[in-house]
Amino acid sequence: MLRAGIGWQAGLVGIATVSTGRETQAGYTLASGRPVIVEDLASESRFSGPVFLQKHGVVSGLTTPIAGRDGRAYGVLGAHTVKRRKFNDYDVAFLAAVANVLAGAIQRRQLDQRHELMIRELRHRSGNL
């Protein structure tokens, strides 16, 4: 699901989804476990672009996995542009760094949720003594 974004058509954020199969850039990124650069989506042969990318005139893009603790990715972080662009190693490193920060925030939130659940359970059990 498209959780956040800038420049997308109204109503897509929080609604639009992309297949996690290898036929999409997001799915290909998840399967490879590495950043994926697309210089020209129209001529890309590894996968096709989602319809919403095509409708927005996306030409180039860079995606990277958001690594999870258990070896499974939480998702994919992407940056796309309507202009043809050659993303470089610095772009890849920057997006990967942002993905790592997101992964840390997700992990922290999960730990906080578990902590809250444990506190509620302890309060419930102590109230039944």
If one compares 5 and 63, the residue with the highest pLDDT of the two is 63
pLDDT in tens, 65-112: 999 988 889 999 999 999 999 999 999 999 999 999 999 999 999 899
57 alpha carbon, distance to own chain's centre: 20
Residue bearing tokens 């030409």: 59
Domain ranges of the chain: 25-127
Task: Tell me: pLDDT of 50 over 80.
Answer: no
Query: Domain 25-127 - what CATH class?
Result: alpha beta
Q: What pLDDT, on a 0 to 100 scale, did the predictor assign at position 55? A: 84
pLDDT at 128 over 80: no
**Band of pLDDT at residue 37, cut at 50, 70 and 90:** very high
Residue 129 pLDDT grade (very low, low, confident, very high; cuts 50, 70, 90): low
Segment 29-53 mean pLDDT: 91
What's the confidence (pLDDT) of residue 71?
83
- Please calculate the CA angle 10-38-17 and round it to the nearest 5 degrees: 35
